[in-house]
Amino acid sequence: MRNILSIAALAAGILAFATTSASAATPAPSGSHSAPPGSAHGLPTGHLPTVPLHTEVVVEVNKKGQVVRVKSTKPSKMQGFNLETYGNALQMWIRKPDGTAEVGLYRVIYDFDPKTKKVTRHIALVSLGGNWGDEPGAANVMMEMAKKQAAEARKQAQQHNTQLPSLNQIRGAPTPSPTHNATLPP
């Protein structure tokens, strides 16, 4: 049940991000090559908040460094930001600089600065250990579920296609055959 809720939250986060990105108007072509105000490298940024935002997410990390699930959150004032940070946390890997990982609870802090229009992320160990060390990462679980859903959708489409009526059944009469034998020149 926890994985389903995590996946649903990630899907909502992706939808919120896609909606925010899609709602950003593409600037009209002009003679000037300068970047529009509020954008980085000329890319539209959409409607960014004008207030600082802070979100904290506590995650369970397996022995590979993959986030297994989100244990708790401290949301900000903006639901869209909360969903994006939640989705980001579910896809994270938390490892040491040498590439090794430790099973444990980690706090991931996201801060949005309206002046720089950037989000910073900080990770802190809450506690070592946990019984989720051998569980698969949340991103892997979501990918497997997506593959299974796609395979099921293909199977249903194939079954639907085999149940389609023939052209003769649709027309109510057999397909006509040629009435004369015409020979074509060589």
Query: Is the entire prediction scored with pTM above 0.85?
Result: no
Q: What is the pLDDT of residue 145?
A: 95
Q: What is the pLDDT of residue 167?
A: 74
Ramachandran quadrant class, 7 (left: phi over 0; alpha: psi -120 to 50; beta: rest): alpha
Q: What is the pLDDT of residue 44?
A: 52
Query: Cβ atoms within 10 A of the Cβ of 32, count?
Result: 7
90, 139 Cβ separation under 8 angstroms: yes
Helix (H, G, I), strand (E, B), or coil: what is residue 41?
Answer: coil
Q: What is the pLDDT of residue 183?
A: 73
Pairing of strands 67-74, 104-113: unpaired
64, 100 Cβ separation under 8 angstroms: no
Spell out the domain ranges in the chain.
Answer: 2-20+50-143
Which tens digits make up the pLDDT trace of 77-86? Answer: 999 999 999 9
Q: What is the pLDDT of residue 110?
A: 96
Residues with pLDDT less than 50, the chain: 1-12, 14-43
Strands (E) in 87-137, as ranges, are: 104-113, 118-128
Q: What is the pLDDT of residue 168?
A: 77
